[in-house]
Chains A and B, each alone.
Chain A
C-alpha cells in the first residue's frame, strides 16, 4: 500500500518540481506583493493573474498540530503528526512535523523545512522543530 500521492496539474507542476529540487515554491503577486498557498491561477488577495514563483525561506511556526494515533491506512504508521504551519512569508499550509518527540511540540514553536520521499516522483515538504528552540519551549 502506498501513501496518498498528489497529482500535479499544469498549474502546480512548478511547485512539485521545486519540491524535488529541495525548494518550497510559493506564488507571489506582482501587483499586491503578497504570497499565497495553495497555488492558484489568480491572486486570492487581489485576483490579479500576474503571479510568479519564489522560493520560501523555509522558516515557519507551528499554528496547530495533532498526533494521529489511528492512522488513515497502513501506509501511514501511527503515531504521526499532522500540522498546520504558518510560513514566514505569510501563507499557512498543512504539513507534518517529523523527527520530533510529540511531547516537544507546542503551538507557536519555530520549525524549518525539510523534504520526505513519498514516491519516486514526489517529495513532500515536511518540517522539523528547530533544535535551538527546543530547550526554551519546554
Chain B
C-alpha cells in the first residue's frame, strides 16, 4: 500500500488565466479555449501536441460531453479525454489523476482547462439550479438551506467547540483582500477591515456578505507533462511533489464531524508522498468559498493545532509577508469564483509564485507550496504539494 508515487516525475509547464469578473460577450467554451491556448503558448506547445484533455462542465453552458466538445472546437484528437465533476475539488483531484495518467503512459501532454460564466451567463432557471443543486433533495433542501447556510453550520460548530469568534473568521476575508490588493487581475482590490466584514449584511448567521466568496466569469488552464519532457519547454517546470485526497460524505448532515474534515487525510497523503510536512511550506492556497473553510483547513492540513485556527488567523500569519501567506492571488473571496473552475486560479497563481514571476505579490524565496481544494460541503478534498525543484 502507498507505493504509488509520482513525486517529482510530473511538472506543470504552462499556466494561463483569462480576465475574470464580469466578462460579457464570451461563452464559457470561448473562455475555456482562450485559457487552454494561453497555457499552451506559455509552455511553448501547440494544441496539436496535446494528447490528454481534461475540462469541467460549465453551469452556464452545460454540455453532455464537455471535454470532447472542446477537443472538437480546437480540432485536436486526444487519447485521454474527460470532463470531471467534483465541485470545487474537481481541479485538484483531476491533477492527481492526470499525473497518474502521465506516469502510466495514458498521455504525455495533458491540458487541464476550465471556465464558467456564473456572473453574467446564467439564465434565471440555471441560477436557481445552482442554488438548489447542493443538499439532499428529500432530507435537507425542504428546510431551505442556502449554500452559505451549510457553511454557517460549520462556523457555528467551530465557535461553540473552540471559542472561535466572528472577528477571527473575518480575518480570512481581510487577509484574502490584502493579497488581492497586490494583484491587478483580482476582481475586488479595495482593502477591507474586520469591522467592514462584521458590518456587511448578515447572510446566514454568523456569516456576513464579506464572509462569502464572489460570483464570477473566468477561465484558467495549466499544462502537465513528465519531468523529462518539461526540461525542454519554454518555462521553468513546477514539479508536483505530492498529492492526496480524502472523501467523507456528500451531505453536511451526514458528516461525522463538523469541525474536522477530510482535508486531514488529503494533507497526510500529500505530505507522505512528498516526504514533506506543513512546516516546509512557504505559502498555501486554501479553498475559501466561505471564511470558515480556511479556518478548518489550516488546522486539518497541519498549519496549526485543532481549535487554534482562529488564533492563527488573528496573528496575521496568512497576510502578505506573514509566516504562511494564504491565497496569494486573493482567493475565491477576492480574486474570483466562477464555480467549479475556481481553484484553477489558485493553481496558476502557485505556478507563477514558484517561477518567481508573481510581481508585486511575490512570496520571497518561495520554493514549496501546498494547494488545497474541496467540493460539496467540505465533502471531497484534494491537497497538492508543488515545488521549484524535483525533490
Q: Per a CB cutoff under 8 Å, which of B161, B202, B203, B252 touches A84?
A: B252
A75 vs B251: C-alpha distance when bound (angstroms): 23
In the assembled complex, the CB of A11 is this many whole angstroms from the nearest CB of chain B, namely 10
B141 touches A4 (CB 8 A): yes
Interface residues of A in 46-83 (CB under 8 A from B): 63-73, 75-76, 80, 82-83
In the assembled complex, the CB of B127 is this many whole angstroms from the nearest CB of chain A, namely 12
A12 touches B253 (CB 8 A): no
Q: Per a CB cutoff under 8 Å, which of A7, A37, A82, A84 touches B144?
A: A82
Interface residues in B, total, Cβ within 8 A: 34
B132 beta carbon closer than 8 Å to chain A: yes
A64 touches B139 (CB 8 A): no
In the assembled complex, the CB of A104 is this many whole angstroms from the nearest CB of chain B, namely 13
Q: Per a CB cutoff under 8 Å, which of A12, A63, A69 touches B138?
A: A12
B136 touches A80 (CB 8 A): no
In the assembled complex, the CB of B165 is this many whole angstroms from the nearest CB of chain A, namely 15
Q: Which residues of B contact A72 (CB under 8 A)?
A: 131-132, 144-146
Number of cross-chain contacts by CB at 8 Å: 111
Q: Per a CB cutoff under 8 Å, which of B137, B138, B143 touches A95?
A: B143
Q: Per a CB cutoff under 8 Å, which of B144, B152, B154, B156 touches A80?
A: B144
A94 touches B140 (CB 8 A): yes
A68-B137 contact given A93-B253, A107-B160, CB 8 Å threshold? no
A82 touches B138 (CB 8 A): no
A90 beta carbon closer than 8 Å to chain B: no
Q: Per a CB cutoff under 8 Å, which of B138, B144, B161 touches A3?
A: B144
B143 touches A82 (CB 8 A): yes
Q: Which residues of A contact B258 (CB under 8 A)?
A: 63-64, 84
B131 touches A38 (CB 8 A): no
Q: Which residues of B contact A122 (CB under 8 A)?
A: 142
Q: CB within 8 Å of A: which residues of B? A: 131-132, 136-146, 148-149, 152-154, 156-157, 160-161, 201-207, 251-254, 258
What are 26 inter-chain pairs, A to B, with CB distance below 8 A? A3-B142, A3-B144, A4-B141, A6-B141, A7-B138, A38-B136, A38-B254, A64-B157, A65-B153, A66-B149, A66-B153, A68-B144, A68-B149, A68-B152, A69-B204, A70-B148, A70-B204, A80-B144, A82-B204, A92-B253, A94-B136, A94-B145, A96-B144, A106-B160, A122-B142, A124-B142
